[in-house]
């Protein structure tokens, strides 16, 4: 909501809280077939993308989110060749995945083509690899695409989704996770943004439960700061098909042939450290049996 004093405020009703950003100008507003998209210029966070009243990203801190959704899971997989991104129309996650030379194909599946088109105009820094020959764009329902994809055809699935409301709700369901499990090769991995562990443990509990019901017995979460999202503390949760989530390719991560602003080997290790309440409230998702998960 934009006030008369030129502050955009997102209300987090379930937490009884809100956060605001001072606005210089509204740059774009439209109602697409699927959602309302707004672009603002802020005084301190650069451009801000808002969908259906919820902040999606800012120019100032989106690199943290996109790097943490892409690089940890790509370095946890032995040989990530074929990747699908469900959602992620701002193209930031796609941009990070395509930095990995071992990746041969990335398919971005987003229901609303306008998100990509507006990102190319207002966030060109996130879209610089959209023309990469390894990138493919499919503007369709993410659940339907995954359900119809050939079995055992992907190494990595990244779910860069909105909150579990409206069109994004199906992406947190057992049906969707079952479709992902079918589509992943043995040892393949899924990662999905999983909200704030401080405010949304019920969502995380539901994700862990539905992932397990879909056949993913190995699940784990990582954590990172993000100032534009409720509580400023965010998470992503991953699952692996048929194998434990073990050590990462530490030497490859240390000698990565590209620059990052947030991700590094120490961040990779530390991001998996969780507070005690997280283990308690997730039940069977207790601490790792070995430090191998963190040290490689």
The candidate with the shortest Cα–Cα distance to 228, out of 27, 87, 17, 20, is: 20
Q: Pick the catalytic residue: 90, 110, 160, 266?
A: 160
Nearest of 192, 204, 199 to residue 162 by alpha carbon: 192
- Distances from the Cα of 50 to the Cαs of 42, 208, 257, in angstroms? 12, 28, 33
267 Cβ contact list (under 8 Å, min separation 6): none
**Cβ partners under 8 Å of residue 268, min gap 6:** 71, 72, 75, 248, 253
Which class for 88: exposed (0-12), middle (13-18), buried (19 or more C-beta within 10 A)? buried
**Residue 163: active-site member:** no
Q: 54: closest CA among 141, 162, 158?
A: 162
Which sequence positions are flagged as catalytic? 160
């Amino acid at each position: 909501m934009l006030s008369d004093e030129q502050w955009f405020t997102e209300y987090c009703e379930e937490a009884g809280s809100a956060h605001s950003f001072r606005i210089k100008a509204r740059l774009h507003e439209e109602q697409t077939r699927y959602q309302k998209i707004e672009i603002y210029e802020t005084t301190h966070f650069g451009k801000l993308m808002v969908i259906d009243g919820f902040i999606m990203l800012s120019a100032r801190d989106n690199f943290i989110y996109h790097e943490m959704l892409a690089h940890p899971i790509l370095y946890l997989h032995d040989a990530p060749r074929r990747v699908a991104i469900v959602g992620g129309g701002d193209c930031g996650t796609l941009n990070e995945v395509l930095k990995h030379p071992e990746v041969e194909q990335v398919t971005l599946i987003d229901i609303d083509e306008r998100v990509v088109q507006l990102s190319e105009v207002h966030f060109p820094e996130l879209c610089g690899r959209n023309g990469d020959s390894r990138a493919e764009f499919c503007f369709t329902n993410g659940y339907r695409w995954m359900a119809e994809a050939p079995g055992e055809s992907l190494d990595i699935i990244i779910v860069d989704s909105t909150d579990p409301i409206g069109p994004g709700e199906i992406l947190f369901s057992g049906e969707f996770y079952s479709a992902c499990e079918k589509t992943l090769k043995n040892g393949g991995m899924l990662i999905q943004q999983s909200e704030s562990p401080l405010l949304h443990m019920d969502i995380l509990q539901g994700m862990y439960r539905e992932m397990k019901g879909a056949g993913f017995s190995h699940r784990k979460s990582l954590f990172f700061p993000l100032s534009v999202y409720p509580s400023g503390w965010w998470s992503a949760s991953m699952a692996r098909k048929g194998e434990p989530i073990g050590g990462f390719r530490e030497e490859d991560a240390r000698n990565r042939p590209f620059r990052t602003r947030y991700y590094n080997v120490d961040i990779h290790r530390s991001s998996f450290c969780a507070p005690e309440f997280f283990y308690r409230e997730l039940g069977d998702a207790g601490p790792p049996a070995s430090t191998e998960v963190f040290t490689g």
